[in-house]
Amino acid sequence: MNKPGESKVGLNDIMKRAQEMQKKLQEIQKQVADMEVIGQSGGGMVKITMTGQHYAKKVVLDSNLLKDDKAIIEDLIAAAINDATDKIEKNLREKMGSLAGMKMPDGFGGL
């Protein structure tokens, strides 16, 4: 059976590591929010610059594209937005993977 002081040391360790994880999570959230990605479609004929918060900042259309059918242009814009969103989500998953790699004390993994 544990002595009274032993369990408190374990709890303090868990709390310290939880605070470290929370700080790291906040850092990751800021990094993702501050990043910008460029989604592309049509071989680069459509480029959309998007922030990590999923706000479109800039849309660039190749002038040759303007001769195409409106529906094609709309599809290419949607595809470029999806490409940018995929890049943001991939970046977030990679950064969160580093957070998941933090070692937690025994018994904490099931939470």
Q: Per-residue pLDDT tens for 74-88? A: 999 999 999 999 999
Strands (E), the chain: 36-41, 46-51, 56-61
| Any domain includes 111 | no
Is residue 68 domain-resident?
yes
28 domain residue, yes or no: yes
In a domain, 52, yes or no: yes
Mean pLDDT of 82-99: 88
Per the structure, the complete domain to which residue 40 belongs is given by 4-100
The reply to whether 109 falls in a domain is no
Asked, for residue 69, whether it belongs to a domain, the answer is yes
Domain-located, residue 9? yes
Number of structural domains in the chain:
1
The contacts of residue 85 (CB under 8 Å, 6+ apart) are 39, 50, 54
Average pLDDT along the chain: 84
* CATH code assigned at 93: 3.30.1310.10
Which residues are registered as beta bridge partners of 60?
Answer: 47
Q: Is residue 65 part of a domain?
A: yes
**pTM of the full predicted structure?**
0.70
Q: Say whether 72 sits in a helix, a strand or coil.
A: helix
Q: What is the mean pLDDT of residues 8-32?
A: 85
